[in-house]
Amino acid sequence: MLDLDLAPLDLDLAPLNLDLAPLDFDLAPLDFDLAPLDFVASLLDFGSSPLDSLIEPYKDTIATLTCNTHPQILHQ
């Protein structure tokens, strides 16, 4: 493992005076519409989707691909 001793660098960031308050992030105007995500989730819900007969043969493949591309799903 690489052992980096950063103490000799003496990084004092106080003189930078980073005041982020004037940025005033207002996320309300973004108004995220999550309805399309609900639609996708309904398609992947194998117990209630009207497409069950079409999806069922590919259920394991879809689950594998989903877990391989989004590993955080495994931890939920």
pLDDT tens for each residue of 20-29: 667 666 766 6
Judge whether 11 lies within some domain: no
Judge whether 56 lies within some domain: yes
| Cβ 59 vs Cβ 46: under 8 Å | yes
pLDDT tens for each residue of 60-74: 777 777 666 555 554
Judge whether 57 lies within some domain: yes
Q: Determine the straight-line distance between the first and last CA of the chain, rounded to whole angstroms.
A: 31
| Cβ 53 vs Cβ 47: under 8 Å | no
Range of the domain at 57: 48-76
pLDDT at 56: 74
Judge whether 14 lies within some domain: no
AA identity, residue 61: T
Round the average pLDDT of the chain to a whole number and report it: 67
Judge whether 28 lies within some domain: no
* Number of domains comprising the chain: 1
